[in-house]
Amino acid sequence: MLEQAVLPELTDLPRKKRNKRWLDLGLPVLSLVCFVSLWELSVRLKLFALPTPEETMKTFLRLLVYGDPLYAKNLLQLTGASLWIVAKGCGAAFGLAIPLGVLVGANPYLEKLTHPILEIFRPVPPLAWIPLAYLMFSSLPGPTRYVQAFVVFVGAFFPAVVNTLHGIKVIDPTYIQAAKSCGASSCQVLRRVLLPGSLPSILTGIRIGIGIGWMCCVAAEFVGGRMGIGFYIWDSYSTGGRAPEIISGIIAIGIVGYLLNAGIIWLERRLLPWR
Amino acid sequence: MALTLHNVSHFYLERQVLDHISLHIGTGRFCCITGPSGCGKSTLLRLVAGLEKSTGGAILLDGAPVSARSGQIGMVFQEGALFPWLTARKNVSFGLEMQGFKPKVLADLTEEYLSLVGLKQFAEYYPNQLSGGMRQRLAMARSLAYNPSLVLMDEPFASLDAQSRNLMQAELTRIWRETKKTVVFVTHSIDEAVFLADQIVVLSSRPGQVKADIPIELPRPRLRTSPAFVRYREQILALIENSEGTNEW
């Protein structure tokens, strides 16, 4: 009886698997198709003054391959310039935030000491720093570059420091005791227990930090400078509402953001095989 | 290595957890410490391990004070406390690395202790890929590999099901006889204590005091159903039930 009841399910298994693979691939495609159809529909019904998906796609490909003659730059160069700023801002942010998070997480006194500063500045939107940043860097040649990197820095710093700190604090104290019972010194506990134990949180902080850094960079480029994808979409608007160019820029920002996130997730899988 | 506790008292905040604990455990002996919840069994173990400092009294290993850094002590925790980010092999070699063993010796000893606990085929597995019993065997291997003379175990089998638990007790008895360590084993289970121990220390609760120190003179391997085994169980159960705080049992 029992075997008979189980058998049909077993034979069903390959079909179910095939169905699942089809859905895994089909549903994302379906969602894109729906989105583009709605877009097309809203243009035809004249709901918004937007270019059609087709027109936009052509512009996007033209910008990707030939670039925009007004700026003599293609989409890769424009996003590349923004990415370089994100790299500088995030590099500085993580270089400071991760060691700080480890120290503060491991030391309750340091935590009390830094808590008010962190909690007052954390809720401030990174873009609110832009005017002050221009004043701070006004004596340097080309202050805009510094301002943009600084805004990215502020955006990436807090998620990284908060996640690192949290990652250290939630490590099961038994792991530390276990290491000490094996004869580990404080330095060894830090290197062999606290760091690997908090690595998942640190990577989460990096992933969120890069995501916010990328957003901050685009926004900071609206305000000043002659380079980058944020500047490009703002300038395309200012020079006469070039909607296909603006949407192409938005799509490029979205794709880069997606790829950055996917890259860190890939890195997480590589670095955390035990999860 | 013989362990001697002389008038060990301990306070946590304002409350006294341990009250003048004195006991002696001879070299190579297996001692089980049992008692009602809150009798300070685990605290006592952490004091012996040198993870905490006692408020008063002396803890001596062959007449000298203990320190966690010396490599004289191996400790097995309730949930194993294996490092989830390290493979089985790396978990075993962790203690050896902390004790500064040379790479060649370290690799040999790691393999030796993986085999001792029967996990050689699982060397590249991460702890979360192993069963509860395997994890506890791995935890034993980690704390035995660097050859401590005293092994402290804090309810290591508490989270296992009854069958795995019996198997692990037999396994531990075998390993103990092969490695000839002095063992201090904290447990809630009277059955477990009588099965494993040469000596059972019963603590009373709040604050923990030595209520009884009973030598167990049963031949090994032990049979849980033998009349002598059952008599020991009854004797210890009576001691614990008579102690204060029985409502928790």
ipTM value: 0.86
From B148, which residue of chain A is nearest by alpha-carbon distance?
Answer: A182
- Based on the fold, state whether residues A43 and A71 are members of the same structural domain: no
- Based on the fold, state whether residues A12 and A68 are members of the same structural domain: no
Are B173 and B5 a contacting pair, CB within 8 Å?
no
Is pLDDT of B161 > 70?
Answer: yes
Q: Compute φ and ψ for B214, nearest 5 degrees.
A: -110, 125
- Identify which of B46, B94, B126 has the shortest CB distance to residue A182: B94
The residues near A6 (Cβ < 8 Å, ≥ 6 apart) are none
pLDDT at B247: 45
- Based on the fold, state whether residues A143 and A187 are members of the same structural domain: yes
pLDDT at A13: 61
State whether residue A197 sits within 8 Å of chain B by CB.
yes
Q: Which residues pair with A244 in a beta bridge?
A: none
pLDDT at A58: 93
- Based on the fold, state whether residues A33 and A145 are members of the same structural domain: no
Q: Which amino acid type is present at position B230?
A: V
Work out the average pLDDT over A115-140: 92
How many helices (H) does chain A have, and how many strands (E)? 11, 0
Query: Which CATH number belongs to the domain containing residue A135 in this structure?
Result: 1.10.3720.10
DSSP element (H, E) containing A136: helix A130-136
Structure tokens at B112: 């030796």
Its domain, for residue A34, covers 2-50
Work out the average pLDDT over B28-53: 86
Is pLDDT of A193 > 90?
Answer: yes
* Percentage helix, strand, coil for chain A under 3-state DSSP, each rounded to 5: 80, 0, 15
pLDDT digit string, tens, across residues A57-70: 999 999 999 988 88
State whether residue A38 sits within 8 Å of chain B by CB.
no
State whether residue A202 sits within 8 Å of chain B by CB.
no
State whether residue B220 sits within 8 Å of chain A by CB.
no
| Contacts of the segment A61-64: beta carbons below 8 A, 24+ positions apart | A63/A245, A63/A248
Q: How confident is the model at residue A204 (pLDDT cuts 50, 70, 90)?
A: very high
Is pLDDT of A129 > 90?
Answer: yes
Query: Domains in chain A: how many in total?
Result: 2
- Based on the fold, state whether residues A157 and A83 are members of the same structural domain: yes
Residue keyed to tokens 């085929």: B121
- Based on the fold, state whether residues A25 and A96 are members of the same structural domain: no
pLDDT digit string, tens, across residues A67-92: 888 888 899 999 999 999 999 999 99
- Based on the fold, state whether residues A32 and A148 are members of the same structural domain: no
Q: Mean pLDDT for chain B?
A: 85
- Based on the fold, state whether residues A105 and A172 are members of the same structural domain: yes
The residues near B140 (Cβ < 8 Å, ≥ 6 apart) are B76, B117, B156, B172, B175
pTM of the model: 0.84
- Identify which of A180, A192, A274 has the shortest CB distance to residue B84: A274
- Based on the fold, state whether residues A67 and A186 are members of the same structural domain: yes
- Based on the fold, state whether residues A96 and A205 are members of the same structural domain: yes
Residues of A numbered 170-189 whose beta carbons fall under 8 angstroms of chain B's beta carbons: which are they? 172, 174-175, 177-185, 188
- Identify which of A179, A181, A192 has the shortest CB distance to residue B49: A181
* C-beta atoms of A181 and B94 within 8 A: no
Q: Which amino acid type is present at position A30?
A: L
Structure tokens at B238: 């009576």
- Based on the fold, state whether residues A158 and A212 are members of the same structural domain: yes
Q: Which of B200, B192, B204, B201 is nearest to B248 (CA)?
A: B204
- Based on the fold, state whether residues A42 and A77 are members of the same structural domain: no
